[in-house]
Amino acid sequence: MLEIKNLHASVEDKEILKGVNLSIGPGEVHAIMGPNGAGKSTLSAVLTGRPGYVVTEGSATYKGQDLLAMSPEERAWAGLFLSFQYPIEIPGVSITAFMKAAVNAKRKAAGLPEMKTSDFLKLMKEKMAFVKMKPELMKREMNVGFSGGEKKRNEIFQMAMLDPVLSILDETDSGLDVDALKIVADGVNALRSPEKSAIIITHYHKLLEYVQPDVVHVLKDGHIVCSGGRELIDAIESKGFEQF
């Protein structure tokens, strides 16, 4: 599904990614762990096409397409989703209006008609119940006045609504209590299927106790220095990242 080869990327003329190689197949969940400044968030930004990140070498192929040649909108329409580490507030835009625009834009790109309002609201209520969001939040402005946990829960709600093919969770577990962490994990697990994949970027092992990744990677100094299974998570917990 995703094939990254020798990916180099810079921000403000500073090289952050220094030759990342990564292959993710359909149905696989990969965890990427690493210390601060390793390039984890830069990798997610490059994959989703965030402005300001310049690819200087290498390639990224998604479902046979040149991912780096696609606009951010085209990547989203093709099934990529990014859950932000720090979700932004959008004053004046309700969650309902935001999600309706996002869902219908994706449907239009797929050649489908807009979803009927009644069907959309039914779907929205179902997904809000799934992530245990209060129904009254439907009318609230996007993330405005939300607690950190509510913002992260809203990210998983968006993921459930958009039903992506490849989800990228960029430290979505940061600052969450145990209950919110379980909701994030439930959302990821519920979307697991033979056709859908996920990248979980995290510093910590706790989320990975609830979401069992197929492969664990250690990203350090701009490239993946080690890949393996559950034993890597245990090694990081006991000795940190300096061992790699």
Is pLDDT at 204 greater than 80 in this prediction?
A: no
- What is the average pLDDT value for the chain, to the nearest integer? 90
**What residue ranges define each of the domains in the chain, with the CATH number in brackets?**
2-239 (3.40.50.300)
% of the chain surpassing 70 pLDDT: 100
Residue 227's pLDDT is 95
Helix, strand, coil share of the chain (percent; to 5): 40, 30, 30
pLDDT in tens, 13-64: 899 999 999 999 999 999 999 988 899 999 999 999 999 999 999 999 999 9
Indicate the pTM of the whole model.
0.90
198: which strand partners? 29, 167
Residue 114's pLDDT is 95
In this structure, are residues 184 and 152 in contact, taking their beta carbons and an 8 Å threshold? yes
pLDDT in tens, 70-89: 999 999 999 999 987 778 88
Is pLDDT at 120 greater than 90 in this prediction?
A: yes
